[in-house]
Amino acid sequence: MTAELNFEDLNPRVKAIEETFRQEWERFRYFVLDPSDPKFIEHLKAGWADRVSVLQMALDAKDDLERVRVESIGKKSELAALKKEVGRVRQEHRAIAGQAIKHLDNSIGSPLTAAKDHLQRLINRLQEDREAIDVTLPGRRPRRGHLHPITILRERIEDIFVALGYAIEDGREIETDFYNFDALNIPQNPPARASQDTFYTSDGFALRSQTSTVQIHAMQRRGAPLRMIAPGRVFRRDTPDPTHNPMFFQVEGLCVDRGISMAHLKGTVAEFLRQMFGAQTITRFRPSYFPFTEPSAEFDFSCFKCGGKGCRICKNSGWIELGGSGMVHPNVLRAAGVDPEEFSGFAFGLGIDRMAALMYGLDDIRLLFENDVRFLEQFD
Ligand code: 2NL
């Protein structure tokens, strides 16, 4: 049986516990202030000015506070040990010892509880602040794109011909030699094919060197009469330079019917160019040679910039060369299954990229295919 204790035996330990807690508590004192009090945050920021985040500080303080609670009034604390010894205090001192310990327990426990509650409210508020989204802020505007300048131009050309009663036809970019050369009356010999020299796949298919291929398919499929244009990507074995690219864009037009003459060709091309470059535009035709047309002509139009007086754009000639044309060769009609005795037709072709370079004043057509947005976004 252990000896009875006097209150005086316990009292120094009560004082010691109180003192230890008081020292620890210094750091947490202000947490018993109400966190919604503006002075509270001010106080925090002043005291923790060098800390990056008040929230992190509050989370750390919460851990610290819990440690202090465990050490001060937890099951293994000196206070818990003290409570167990109250039973051994002499009868007449026991009530006062009990009261002193209970008072100590409360004087430690209640500020801890208050601080913990307030700290939690502060943490909640800071977390809400951090996660809050200001729904009144304007959204980030997505940058609006636009069509490629070649597409813009192609669509303008299409609109003009659709209004003249032409269909728009599309086709494959990989073709057989028949569609790319033979059907177009291009002789088998290498020199004849050199100007249309294209790329071949390992299976012997050709990348089309003009969109006439689409027109041959269309004549075979639909027969005559026929009015159509074929815009699209074509390929030539050219060394790239400011005016050449091995891949470029073309529009070809074809009109096949009974009694079609050179007059229809001239009227159609002239009307197209007037719609494209203005009512004052004059068109001229120069005799030329293409294997797929007979007779053949190249066409020029009066400069849209100077009106024919001569300027940098038309190289002082007053005229701009644009494309080729002619009456469809009977051999071509025959190859496409159209009877040249019954039908005749005209055809023409022009380069869309060349036209874009002219209209936008580009000194290098390759810029159109580099897909540098800083360049392309100037032309919408
Ligand atoms: C040019 C020359 C031309 C054609 C294309 C054509 C199509 C068929 C039949 C006959 Cl299906 N001809 N197309 C005719 C003459 C010239 O293009 O300088 N293009 C940029």
Is omega for the bond preceding 287 within 30 degrees of 0, making it cis?
A: no
Atom index in ligand 1 nearest the CA of residue 329 equals 10
Cβ–ligand 1 distance for 212 under 6 Å, the answer yes
The DSSP H or E segment spanning 232 is strand 226-235
Q: Are the beta carbons of 85 and 5 closer than 8 angstroms?
A: yes
Reference 66, options 119, 15, 103, 20; nearest CA is 119
User: Are the beta carbons of 252 and 210 closer than 8 angstroms?
Assistant: yes
What span, in angstroms and rounded, lies between the C-alpha atoms of 219 and 227?
A: 10
| Dihedral angle over CA of 125, 126, 130, 133, nearest 10 | 20
What number does the ligand 1 atom closest to the CA of 250 have? 20
Q: 333-337: which pairs have CB atoms within 8 A and are 24 or more residues apart?
A: 333/219, 333/256, 335/182, 335/183, 335/184, 335/185, 335/216, 336/183, 336/215, 336/216, 336/219, 336/220, 337/219, 337/220, 337/223
- Hey, which bits of 258-292 come out as E strands? 283-290
Best residue among 348, 350, 358 to mutate for probing ligand 1's pocket (most ligand atoms within 8 Å of CB) is 348
pLDDT for the residue numbered 258: 98
Joined tokens for residue 345: 């037709």
Question: How far apart are the CA of 120 and the centre of ligand 1, in A?
Answer: 81
Q: Is the CB of 325 under 6 A from ligand 1?
A: yes
Tokens of 47: 């005291």
Residue type, 261: S
Give residue 252 CA to ligand 1 midpoint distance, Å.
Answer: 6
Decide: 344 in ligand 1 pocket, CB within 6 A. no
Pocket of ligand 1 contains residue 347 by CB under 6 Å: yes
For ligand 1, atom 3, the nearest C-alpha belongs to 349
Q: Is 216 in the pocket of ligand 1 (CB under 6 A)?
A: yes
Find how far residue 93's CA is from the centre of its chain: 83
Task: Give the pLDDT confidence score for residue 197 in this predicted structure.
Answer: 82
pTM, 2 dp: 0.67
Contact predicate 206/199, CB 8 Å = yes
350 CA closest ligand 1 atom index: 20
Q: Is the CB–ligand 1 distance for residue 324 below 6 Å?
A: yes
Residue with the two structure tokens 């002509």: 297
Averages of pLDDT over each 10 residues, the chain, 380 residues: 78 92 88 77 66 76 93 92 89 90 93 91 84 84 91 97 97 94 88 78 91 97 96 94 94 98 98 96 97 97 93 92 97 97 98 93 93 90
Distance 161 CA to ligand 1 centre (A): 16
> Which residues lie below 8 Å from residue 129, measured CB to CB, with a gap of 6+?
none
Ligand 1 binding pocket includes 215 (Cβ within 6 Å): yes
Q: Whose CA is nearest to atom 15 of ligand 1?
A: 325
Give me the pLDDT at residue 229, please. 98
Closest ligand 1 atom to 298 CA:
18
Cis before residue 225, ω within 30 degrees of 0? Answer: yes
Identify the bridge partners of residue 283 per DSSP, sorted by sequence position.
Answer: 301
- State which ligand 1 atom lies nearest to the alpha carbon of 215: 11
Q: Of 268, 245, 227, 252, which is closest to residue 171 (Cα–Cα)?
A: 252
pLDDT of 166? 98
Q: Quick one: which of 376, 64, 92, 337 has its CA closest to 220?
A: 337
Atom of ligand 1 nearest to the CA of 328: 10
The atom of ligand 1 lying closest to the CA of 292 is: 10
Q: What Cα–Cα distance (Å) separates residue 120 from each residue in 42, 113, 114, 160, 309?
A: 18, 11, 10, 72, 84
